Structure 1
Amino acid sequence: MNTFAFIIHILTLLSTALMAGLFFSYSFSVNSGLGQLNDSAYLLAMQSINRAILNPVFFMCFFGTVILLPLNAYLQYDGRLTINFSLFGLSAAFYVIGLFGITILGNVPLNDALEAFDIGNASQETISGMRETFEGPWNKWHSIRTAAVVISFLLLSIASVLPKR
């Protein structure tokens, strides 16, 4: 493996691990804590989190991994359809479709609807309805994308340590 391919491989492992850790941790800590809040506090907290996560470090890892995983698979290709190359490709597919695609098509529209919701001028009934409309679907999509990024990292890790075949 040449130096460029090695650097891309290490950056791919790092960025995928960071994303898997972020989504996994959110699923099993933040979501549990948020779920215990009353409706108004829950919606305000989610609005705040959705704004805070839109930062350069998150964008670099989130979008960078979309580029790095397929690039890494391509750089690992040696002209043969090997188990390693197949695992690298599957890892990329799980991330691009399962994390990135679901985020863009599932979670972002829900986040946008929540951002547009004026909690300060809403009745308690409307606030409760918004939480019901938001929380279940958002958590469902989040669980799917969390599984996808963890699988992506697992496949990438296995391909990284398997002898080339």
Structure 2
Amino acid sequence: MLATARCARHPYSWRFRLLVAATGIFWAGSLGVTVAVNIPLNETLASFQLTSATAAQTAAARTHFSTTWNTWHDVRTVASIVALALLAGACLARDTDSGVIVPK
């Protein structure tokens, strides 16, 4: 985010655009998934009464948890990799404007 803010004075440069995209994808795909899915899932798991549950209930809870967790973990992983790739692209991008003529 700091790099994005630093490049904000050149909003038409490729570097700025790549940093904005990386920031948005990271916030939505990694942090957003953690807050919206993983934390509630952890709270549900913590409230599961293991001592009074039957083996079938435990197996069903485990299947639900692991299926949901793994699906959203894959989303977080892909989002983080894409954000990292965009960040690397921003680091390698030339610090020039995109060629768009903007009135000053």
- Structure 1 vs Structure 2: percent identity of aligned residues? 26
Deviation at 1:120, TM superposition (A): 2.7
Q: 48, 57, 64: which one pairs with 1:117?
A: 48
If asked which structure has higher relative contact order (CA below 8 Å, sep 6+), I would say: 2
Deviation at 1:80, TM superposition (A): 3.6
Q: What letter corresponds to residue 28 of structure 2 in structure 1? A: I
Which blocks of at least 5 consecutive residues in structure 1 are unaligned? 1-68
Do structure 1's residue 105 and structure 2's residue 36 form an aligned pair?
A: yes
| Bigger proportion of residues as helix | 1
Do structure 1's residue 95 and structure 2's residue 95 form an aligned pair?
A: no
Q: Which residue does 1:159 correspond to in 2?
A: 90
Map 1:44-55 → 2, pairs under 5 A: none
Do structure 1's residue 84 and structure 2's residue 4 form an aligned pair?
A: no
Q: Which residue does 2:80 correspond to in 1?
A: 149
Could you tell me how far apart the structure 2 residues matched to 1:102 and 1:126 are? Answer: 26
Which blocks of at least 5 consecutive residues in structure 2 are unaligned? 97-104
Could you tell me how far apart the structure 2 residues matched to 1:145 and 1:111 are? Answer: 16
Q: Which residue does 2:65 correspond to in 1?
A: 134
Q: Which residue does 1:73 correspond to in 2?
A: 4
Could you tell me how far apart the structure 2 residues matched to 1:107 and 1:162 are? Answer: 34
Report the TM-score, using the length of structure 1 for normalisation. 0.55
Q: Deviations over 1:108-127 (max 9, x none)?
A: 11111011112233110110
Secondary structure, counterpart of 2:9 in structure 1 = coil
- 4+ residue stretches of structure 1 with deviation over 3 A? none
Deviation at 1:154, TM superposition (A): 0.9
Q: Deviations over 1:26-85 (max 9, x none)?
A: xxxxxxxxxxxxxxxxxxxxxxxxxxxxxxxxxxxxxxxxxxx2x320112233411110
Larger Rg: 2
Deviation at 1:156, TM superposition (A): 0.6
Two-structure CA RMSD over aligned residues (Å): 1.2
Q: What letter corresponds to residue 81 of structure 1 in structure 2? A: Y
